[in-house]
Amino acid sequence: MSEHNPEALQAFAGQVSASVTGGLNCALTLLGDQLGLYRSLSAAGPMNSAELAESTRLSERWVREWLYQQACIKQIEYRESDDRFFLSEEAKAVLADDRHPANLIGMFQSVVAIYDSVDTLPDCFRTGIGHSYDDKGENCACGIERMTKRFQTDQLVPDLLPRLDGLVEMLQNGVKVADVGCGGASSTIAMAKVFPESQFIGYDISMHALNRARNNINAAGVKNVTLHNAIDNPLPNDASFDLITTFDVIHDSTHPDQLITAIRQSLKDTGIWLCADIKGMPTFAENLKDNPMATVAYSFSVLMCMSAGLSTPDGAGLGTLGFHEQKARTMTQEAGFSRFKTIPYDPDMFNAYYEIRP
Ligand SMILES: C[S@@+](CC[C@H](N)C(=O)[O-])C[C@H]1O[C@@H](n2cnc3c(N)ncnc32)[C@H](O)[C@@H]1O
């Protein structure tokens, strides 16, 4: 055995074991969400395990052990004086309130969904071929939808769209819009509700996403949205769209160059492409040094985004951080776009927003 500095070894083992605890906690946090435990605690205030079990109609013994774990990891507060558990205001936002900007439950849902693919990922490392978005199951699509829904429902229309020159007036007057890679269609529905004169077409290649989108569109009751499976019914190359939106799609796609060319060909010369993609830096060294999201981004990349981008033998596999601004500028210019503007939008930690025009 090689010699180790005992203190350094202990510190490193401690760091790694915190990651193990984080892995376990993903499953336990998702259970708290799915069983309504956080929501019950949030609504009722301090409760003991019997009261929480009764309010959620669950077995007290299981609820008690879950509460102990949650208190140890400091997601739930414990009051020894009367043996009761409660959520801080911050915990309510992050764990119990899906509509809060700081809520992270969708992320837990996607992470746990990806764990199912651990058995088959070794083959991906050997063959180079990744899993498609649909291979990861509906829960993964649902988790992504929960991650992005709040921004798309509450902020996209009032806060972001007015930052693009003339866009709101265009949409009010009635134009044709494609939301490419629409996922569960939260963005498509949010825009369609506010701009009834415009026609929206959501495109996606994932059956899970399209099914979720169909249900969400029906539930919202919007009549100016249609859905296309982009595999059978791709973007037309007839310069017919006034606006095309992509929210976190390009870095995930197997052929981003072809997709960008298709976007250019289906957009009018006067049209706008609003592109949101993950904030990244051009090199790994820069991301390692200066990108606070690098660890989570590379983790999602191996398990989800790069994997999806490599799900065909000739896939590009850009990776979660691979469609950074510099790459976006180069690739869009190569596809025939001539104007590129970054839209400043600080509240979003993950995404950068680009206004791209022919
Ligand atoms: C990370 S998800 C984002 C979904 C949605 N825009 C959102 O913000 O919640 C990426 C989506 O892009 C879709 N996608 C990937 N490549 C595509 C392509 N070539 N055409 C249409 N959709 C595509 C995936 O199926 C997936 O639904």
What is the CATH classification number for the domain harbouring 21?
1.10.10.10
Domain membership of residue 118 (yes or no) is: no
Strands (E), the chain: 77-79, 84-86, 176-180, 199-204, 225-229, 241-247, 267-278, 339-343, 351-357
Q: Is the CB of 253 under 6 A from ligand 1?
A: yes
Residue 338, pLDDT > 90, answer: yes
Spatial distance between the Cα atoms of 191 and 153, rounded to a whole number of angstroms:
9
Same domain for 178 and 290? yes
pLDDT tens digits, 157-198: 999 999 999 999 999 999 999 999 999 999 999 999 999 999
Same domain for 81 and 157? no
For the stretch 102-117, what's the b/e string if a residue is b when 16 or more beta carbons lie within 10 angstroms of its beta carbon?
Answer: ebebbbbbbbbbbeeb
What atom of ligand 1 comes closest to residue 259's alpha carbon? 19
- Name the residue of 210, 216, 252 whose CB sits within 8 Å of the most ligand 1 atoms, as the mutation to test its pocket: 252
**CATH label of the domain that carries residue 201:** 3.40.50.150
pLDDT tens digits, 112-142: 999 888 999 999 999 999 999 999 888 888 8
For residue 250, report the distance from its CA to the centre of ligand 1, in Å. Answer: 8
Query: How many separate domains does the chain show?
Result: 2
Same domain for 348 and 254? yes
Same domain for 237 and 314? yes
What atom of ligand 1 comes closest to residue 276's alpha carbon? 8
What atom of ligand 1 comes closest to residue 186's alpha carbon? 9
- Give the residues across from 85 on adjacent strands: 47, 78
Q: Is the CB of 206 under 6 A from ligand 1?
A: yes
Same domain for 84 and 157? no
The first and second tokens of residue 214, run together, are 């169909």
Domain membership of residue 263 (yes or no) is: yes
Q: CB atoms < 10 A from the CB of 69, how many?
A: 17
What atom of ligand 1 comes closest to residue 252's alpha carbon? 15
Res. 59 pLDDT band, cuts 50 70 90? very high
- pTM for the model stands at 0.95
What stretch of H or E contains 296?
A: helix 294-300
Q: Is the CB of 298 under 6 A from ligand 1?
A: no
What atom of ligand 1 comes closest to residue 246's alpha carbon? 6
Domain membership of residue 136 (yes or no) is: no
Three-class secondary structure assignment of 121-134: HHHHHHHCCCCCCH
Residue 85, pLDDT > 80, answer: yes
* φ, ψ of residue 347 in degrees (nearest 5): -60, -20
Q: Is the CB of 144 under 6 A from ligand 1?
A: yes
Report whether 295 contacts 301 (CB < 8 A). Answer: no
pLDDT tens digits, 210-269: 999 999 999 999 999 999 999 999 999 999 999 999 999 999 999 999 999 999 999 999
Same domain for 195 and 283? yes
Backbone CA torsion sign across 153, 158, 163, 165 = positive
Spatial distance between the Cα atoms of 70 and 77, rounded to a whole number of angstroms:
8
Q: Is the CB of 213 under 6 A from ligand 1?
A: no
Spatial distance between the Cα atoms of 111 and 117, rounded to a whole number of angstroms:
11
End-to-end CA distance of the chain: 62
Residue-range definition of the domain harbouring residue 170: 150-357
Same domain for 162 and 59? no
Tell me what the mean pLDDT of segment 349-358 comes to: 96
Same domain for 91 and 163? no
Same domain for 73 and 190? no
pLDDT at 348: 83
pLDDT at 1: 64
Tell me what the mean pLDDT of segment 63-76 comes to: 98
Q: 260: buried, middle or exposed (CB in 10 Å: 19+, 13-18, 0-12)?
A: buried
Tell me what the mean pLDDT of segment 276-299 comes to: 97
Tell me what the mean pLDDT of segment 317-335 comes to: 98
Domain membership of residue 131 (yes or no) is: no
What stretch of H or E contains 187?
A: helix 186-194
Tell me what the mean pLDDT of segment 338-348 comes to: 92
pLDDT at 248: 98
Tell me what the mean pLDDT of segment 17-40 comes to: 97
Same domain for 47 and 181? no
pLDDT at 157: 98
Same domain for 87 and 158? no
Which amino acid makes up residue 219?
Answer: A
Using alpha carbons, select from 259, 230, 235, 274 the residue that is nearest to residue 318. Answer: 259
Same domain for 211 and 339? yes
